[in-house]
Structure 1
Amino acid sequence: MSDIYNDIEPNVIDDEMVQKAIEEQFPEDIGKIAKREGINFKDVTELQLSFRNILQIDNLWQFENLTKLQLDNNIIEKIEALESLVHLVWLDLSFNNIEVIEGLDTLVKLQDLSLSNNRISKIEHMDALQELQIFSIGKNNLTTLEDVIYLRRFKKLRTLNLTGNPLCNDEHYTLFVVAYLPDLVYLDFRLVSDTTREAAVLKYQDFTELLEREEAQALAQLEEEQAKQKELEYHKAAFVEYLNGSFLFDSMYAEDTEAAKLASLPGVGDLQEAYPSGDFVSVCENLFNYGLQEYEKREAEVSDFYESLHEALTANQQEGRKLILDFENRNKTVIYDIADSKRDEYRGDILQLSDALMALEMLIADQLESPVTESHLISRSRVLRSAFSLTIFSTMTQCRDLENRHHEELLEISITALEKSLKNELDEDLPADVQMLLVDRTTIVNAVNTSHGIHLLKIDKRESDILSNINHWQTSVTEKAVQNEIDRNRERIREIVQYIDNLQEELDNLEIMEPIV
C-alpha cells in the first residue's frame, strides 16, 4: 500500500506540480516548447500524477476537458475536488489510503474506475456512474458478498476485479457474483465461462428471480414518478400547475383551523362536502385546460418568430458567403503578383469586401431590429398575455363568488347553531373548542369571517402567482430575443473584422518577405 511513502513530506496538487507533469508527458522536444510557451490547462485531456506523495486532491478545476486522470500510488485519504472533471472517462485512484467511495456524482461519463489497494469496506455512492464498464476494487476491506448486489445498477459493467478482498474467501464467492451480475464478461482478470454461468444460475435462480421482480417493480414506480414529474413541469410551464383537481380548494383548508372547528356544527359537514364537489373544482379545471391551450399558442408564436428570424439570417449569410467567394475567385493569383499595381488593387478589393460585409450586416441588423424590439414578438406576446390575464381574472372571480356564497351559507348555519345553543336546543355534544365559539354572536361571526379570509387569500395568491408568471414570460421572451440579436451582431462583426485582418496580414507578410533584387 501507499504507506511506504509516509516518511516523505506529503504534497498537495499545485500549478507547479501539474505543469511539470504535463511537460513530462510530451516527447523531449515538444516538452521544451510547452515549457517555454506555457500550457493551457483547458487543452489537456490526460494527466498523470502517480507516485507524487499527494495527500489531498485539489486544484484540478482548470482541467475541464480532462478525460483520463491517474492519481495512483499516492497517500490520498479522500475522493474530492473532482466536480469539474465532467468529461472524465478513466480514473485511477489505486494504491492510496481511501476509506469511503464518494465525490463521484458529476463524473457521469466515467467508464473505467480503479480503486484497488485502498481501505474501502463498502461499495456505495456510485449511482451517477451509469456508463461504468470496468471497475477494479481489489485488495480492499470488502467483507460482505451482498455488497456486490449494489453493482447490478450498472448495466454496462462487463469487467470487475474484487480479488484480494475478504469476501473472496467465501466458498460461493464466484458463483454468487456471476449469478447476481449476469452480464459480467471478466471477473478477477478471468473470462467467465459458460459452465460457471450455468452453475451460478442454477444455485441462485430463486433469489435472483425474486430480486428481478423487485427491481422491475421499483423501476415501474420510478418511471411513474418521473412521468408525473414531467407532467408537472409541463403544467408549471403553462402556469396552471395544481389546478386540475381540488388542489386549490384543499389548500384553502390546509391552514384553516377555524374551519375544522366549525365543521362540528350541525349542517356544516354537509355544506363543506358539497362545496368542492360543486362548481369550484370545475372552474379550476376549466382554467387548467385553457392554460394548456394558451401555453401551446405561446410556444407556437415563439417558434414561428425564431423560424422567420432563422430564414432571414440564412439568406443574409448566404449573401455574405457569395461576396467572399466572388472576392476569392477574383483574387486567386493576385497576391502572388509582384506588380505593385496588382497589390494595390488587391488591397482596395479587401477594403471593398470589408465595406460590403459590414453593410450587409447593418442591413440585417436594421431589418431585425423592428420585429425584435418593437413589432411582431412583443405585440403578439402582449396579446397572448392580455387574453390569458383576463381569463385568469374572470376565473378567480368565479372562485371568489363561490367562496362568498359558501361563506354566507356557513354564516347562516353557524348563527342558527349559536341560537340553538343559547336555548339549549342542540342535540349534539360538541368539543370544548367548538363550544367556546358558541358564546355570543361576535365570537362565532369572527370565526366564520377568519375562515373566509384565509380562503380568499389563497385564491388571491394563486391569481397573483399566475399573473406574475405570465408577465415574467412576456418580459423574458422579448428580452431574450433582443439579447440574442445583440450577441449575434457582435459575433458577426468580430468574424468580419478577423477575416479582413487575416487577409491584410497575409498581404503585409508577403510584402515584407519579398527578396530585394
Structure 2
Amino acid sequence: MAALISTDDEFDQDDNKENEPRVINYTCLINLITQQAPTGEAGRLYHEDGIKLNEIEEIRIEFLRILKIDHLWIMTNLIKLSLSHNKIEKIENLDALVKLCELDISFNSIKIMENLNCLSKLEVLLLAGNQIDTIEGIDNLKNLTIFSIANNKIQGWEHVLYLRQFKNLRSVNCNGNPCTLQENYNDYLIAFLPQIIYFSYSMVREEDRARAMKIHWRSIVKIEDDEAKAQVALKEEHALKKKSAIDSAAFVDHLDDDELFLLSFLNDKEGTALKNINDDTLAVFNEYKKNFSIVCHELYQFGIEQHSLREKEIEIFSVVVEEARDAVRDEARRIIDSIEKYKNESFAKFNIGIKEFDKKLDAKSAIDQTDLPIDVKIAKIQNFTENFNEFLSSIWTKLVYSEVVLHEQIEDVNETFKLNIADMKDIFVESVRVLFSRMRNILVEYRDTIQRVVVSHLNDFTEDELKIPSQFIDICGDINILSNTLASSHDIHSQIIDSREDEIISAVNKWFNDLVIRLRKYENSRHRRRILEISHVVQYHRELLHKHILTDDEALDVVAALER
C-alpha cells in the first residue's frame, strides 16, 4: 500500500487547533491518511481492507505546525517522508525507518544534525531553511546522493572535506549560508568534491572544475595522500579485527605473539631482576623466551588449522541438512498443490451434481407435485464430505510421515555430526595439553639452568672475597634465598600457564556443548512448527469444505435435516 499524504489548514480547522504546535501521534497519522484516501469504489475497498500503517511507503506531513517527531516507528516500510514547513526542533525517533530513502525536514527549527546515522539507505536528505551551523552526524549515509542544506547558519568550510567521504554524492546545495559569501568558496567546493555533478542545482561545468582544481592542486594532492594512508590504515584495522575474530573462534587468541610469555613476568619482579644479573643469565632468559615462543606459535598454528577443519565440517553438515529439508519442502509443496487441484475438481463436480439433482427435483415436482426424498441429497453430501475428508486425512498422513522421516534423518545426521565434532574437539584438547606440558618442561629447564648460572656467579664472589651487589642480596644473597626466589618465580609462571590451558579447554568444551544444544533445540523447534503448519493447512481445507457446503441454500436445509 502506498499513500501520498498532503495536508492543508483544513485539518487544523477541523481540530480547532489551527495555530497550536503538536506531536505526531497515531490519531494524527490515521486522520491524515483517511483524509487523503481514494474516493468511490477504490475508497470503499481501501477502507474495507483497513489502514495498514506498516505498509505505507510515502507520507507528506506539511503545514500542521508539527513540533515533535513521534509514532513513525509504526511505518516500517516508509521510503519517502516529508516533514517540511513545520516547527520541529529536534531530529528524533527515526530509528525504525530502516528503508527510508528520502527525507525532507526543510523549513523547521532544527539546530543540530543528529539521529540520522540509523538511516543507512537514505539517498536524499533535505535540510534547507533550518538553523544548523555544523554538518555532522551522517557518516553512515554512504548512499547519500542529493544533499541540500541551503539557508542555514554554516560559516566555516570544514563541511567540504567532511562531504568527500560520500562517494555517491551528486548534488549539493549550500546557498544562503554565510560560508557561500566568502571569496573562492565555490571554487573550493567543486575542487574538493569531484564526485558532485550539480552544485546549487546547476550543473558544474568541466572548465570551472578544472580551473578550481588547478588553484587548489597542492592541497588536493596532500588530502588525497592523507586519504590513501587512512584507507590503508582502515584496511589494516579491518584485517586485524578479522584476524582477532578468527583467533578467538579458534581459542588461540594472542598466542602468535609474546603476550603469554610477557604476562608470566608481569607480576614476577624477582624473576625479572634475576635475569638481569649478568650476560649469562640474560642469555638463558632469551633462550627460554625463544623456546617458549616456538611452542606458543605451534599451538597457534594448530588451533587455526583445527578451526578451519571444524568450519568445513560444519559447512558440510549444514549443506546436507539443508538439502534434506529442501527435498521434503519441495515434496510438501507438490502435495499441497494436489490439495488445491483435488479441491477445485471435487467442488466443481459437487456443484454440478447438486444442480442436476435440483433440476430432477423441479421436473418431478412439476409432473406429480411430489418431492424426491431429501435423504438422496443428504447421501450425496455425506458421500462428498466423507471422500474429501478421507483425501485430506491421506494428505495429512503423507506430510506428517515425510516430516517425521526427515526429523529422524536429521537427528541421525546431528548425532553423526556431534561425534565427528567431538572427535575433533578431543584431538584439539589433547594436543593443547601436550603443548602446554612442553611449556611447563621448558619452564622447569629454565629454572634449573638459571639456578646453575646464578650459583656459579655467587661462587665467583666467594672465591674472590667480593661482596654481592646490594640490589641482588634479597633475591640471591645465598643458596636458600635463591631457591626461594626461583620457587616463587616458578609458581607464578606455572599459574599463568595452567590458567591459560584451563581457559582454552573450558572455552572449546563450552563451544561444543552450546553447539550441540543449539542444533537440537533448533531441530526440535522446527519439527514442532512444521507439524503445526501441516495440521493448520489440513484444517484450513476442512473449513473450506464446510463453508462451501453451507453456501448452497438447499444444503442449509439438508444440514438442518441432518441435525434433526
**TM-score (ref. length: structure 1):** 0.88
Whole-angstrom CA distance in 2 between matches of 1:424 and 1:33: 110
* Residue 537 of structure 2 corresponds to residue 496 of structure 1: no
Which residue of structure 1 aligns with residue 285 of structure 2? 272
Helix, strand or coil: the match of 1:61?
helix
Helix, strand or coil: the match of 1:243?
coil
Which residue of structure 2 aligns with residue 297 of structure 1? 309
Q: Are the equivalent residues in 2 in contact too, given 1:71–1:92 (CA < 8 A)? A: yes
* Residue 355 of structure 2 corresponds to residue 355 of structure 1: no
Helix, strand or coil: the match of 2:147?
strand
* Residue 269 of structure 2 corresponds to residue 257 of structure 1: yes
Question: Residue 399 of structure 1: CA displacement?
Answer: 0.7
Which residue of structure 2 aligns with residue 448 of structure 1? 486
Which residue of structure 1 aligns with residue 298 of structure 2? 286
Which residue of structure 2 aligns with residue 143 of structure 1? 155
Which residue of structure 2 aligns with residue 169 of structure 1? 181
Whole-angstrom CA distance in 2 between matches of 1:331 and 1:388: 58
Whole-angstrom CA distance in 2 between matches of 1:232 and 1:515: 73
Whole-angstrom CA distance in 1 between matches of 2:245 and 2:505: 18
Whole-angstrom CA distance in 2 between matches of 1:35 and 1:450: 83
Q: Are the equivalent residues in 2 in contact too, given 1:123–1:148 (CA < 8 A)? A: no
Is the deviation greater in 260-269 or in 206-215?
260-269
Gap change, CA 1:402 and 1:188, over 3 Å in 2: same
Which residue of structure 2 aligns with residue 401 of structure 1? 441
Is the deviation greater in 454-463 or in 443-452?
443-452
Is the deviation greater in 173-182 or in 294-303?
294-303
Is the deviation greater in 219-228 or in 263-272?
263-272
Helix, strand or coil: the match of 1:333?
helix
Which residue of structure 2 aligns with residue 42 of structure 1? 54
Which residue of structure 2 aligns with residue 468 of structure 1? 506
Which residue of structure 2 aligns with residue 20 of structure 1? 31
Helix, strand or coil: the match of 1:110?
coil
Which residue of structure 2 aligns with residue 381 of structure 1? 421
Q: Are the equivalent residues in 2 in contact too, given 1:11–1:55 (CA < 8 A)? A: yes
* Residue 248 of structure 2 corresponds to residue 231 of structure 1: no
Whole-angstrom CA distance in 2 between matches of 1:41 and 1:447: 75
Whole-angstrom CA distance in 2 between matches of 1:209 and 1:124: 24
Helix, strand or coil: the match of 1:113?
strand
Gap change, CA 1:28 and 1:329, over 3 Å in 2: closer
5+ residue gaps, structure 1, are: none
Gap change, CA 1:469 and 1:65, over 3 Å in 2: farther
* Residue 563 of structure 2 corresponds to residue 506 of structure 1: no
Counterparts of 1:35-434 in structure 2 under 5 Å? 39-266=51-278, 267-277=280-290, 279-336=291-348, 337-338=350-351, 339=353, 340=381, 341-372=383-414, 375-414=415-454
Q: Are the equivalent residues in 2 in contact too, given 1:141–1:166 (CA < 8 A)? A: yes
Gap change, CA 1:94 and 1:385, over 3 Å in 2: same
Helix, strand or coil: the match of 1:453?
helix
Question: Residue 42 of structure 1: CA displacement?
Answer: 3.2
Q: Deviations over 1:175-219 (max 9, x none)?
A: 111100011111111111222222212222222122112111111
Gap change, CA 1:169 and 1:430, over 3 Å in 2: farther
Helix, strand or coil: the match of 1:251?
helix
Which residue of structure 1 aligns with residue 15 of structure 2? none
Question: Residue 28 of structure 1: CA displacement?
Answer: 5.0
Question: Residue 135 of structure 1: CA displacement?
Answer: 0.8
Question: Residue 392 of structure 1: CA displacement?
Answer: 0.5
The letter of the residue matching 2:128 is S
Helix, strand or coil: the match of 2:119?
coil
Gap change, CA 1:412 and 1:460, over 3 Å in 2: same
Q: Are the equivalent residues in 2 in contact too, given 1:122–1:142 (CA < 8 A)? A: yes
Q: Are the equivalent residues in 2 in contact too, given 1:377–1:478 (CA < 8 A)? A: no
Helix, strand or coil: the match of 2:103?
strand
Helix, strand or coil: the match of 1:91?
strand
Whole-angstrom CA distance in 2 between matches of 1:397 and 1:200: 68
Question: Residue 497 of structure 1: CA displacement?
Answer: 2.6
Higher radius of gyration, 1 or 2? 2
Question: Residue 74 of structure 1: CA displacement?
Answer: 2.9
Q: Deviations over 1:319-369 (max 9, x none)?
A: 333433444444542112234234542233123212322222222223323
Whole-angstrom CA distance in 1 between matches of 2:458 and 2:77: 75
Gap change, CA 1:20 and 1:331, over 3 Å in 2: closer
Whole-angstrom CA distance in 1 between matches of 2:96 and 2:544: 40
Task: Report the number of matched residues.
Answer: 508
Q: Are the equivalent residues in 1 in contact too, given 2:22–2:65 (CA < 8 A)? A: yes
**TM-score (ref. length: structure 2):** 0.81
Gap change, CA 1:454 and 1:45, over 3 Å in 2: farther
Q: Are the equivalent residues in 2 in contact too, given 1:421–1:438 (CA < 8 A)? A: no
Question: Residue 484 of structure 1: CA displacement?
Answer: 2.4
Question: Residue 453 of structure 1: CA displacement?
Answer: 2.6
5+ residue gaps, structure 2, are: 1-11, 13-17, 354-380, 556-564
The letter of the residue matching 1:276 is K
Q: Are the equivalent residues in 2 in contact too, given 1:264–1:430 (CA < 8 A)? A: no
Identity among equivalent positions (%) equals 29
Gap change, CA 1:231 and 1:426, over 3 Å in 2: farther
Whole-angstrom CA distance in 2 between matches of 1:104 and 1:426: 76
Gap change, CA 1:449 and 1:504, over 3 Å in 2: same
The letter of the residue matching 2:391 is D
Q: Are the equivalent residues in 1 in contact too, given 2:476–2:485 (CA < 8 A)? A: no
Q: Are the equivalent residues in 2 in contact too, given 1:43–1:65 (CA < 8 A)? A: yes
Question: Residue 34 of structure 1: CA displacement?
Answer: 6.8
Helix, strand or coil: the match of 2:216?
helix
Question: Residue 430 of structure 1: CA displacement?
Answer: 6.1
Is the deviation greater in 218-227 or in 387-396?
218-227
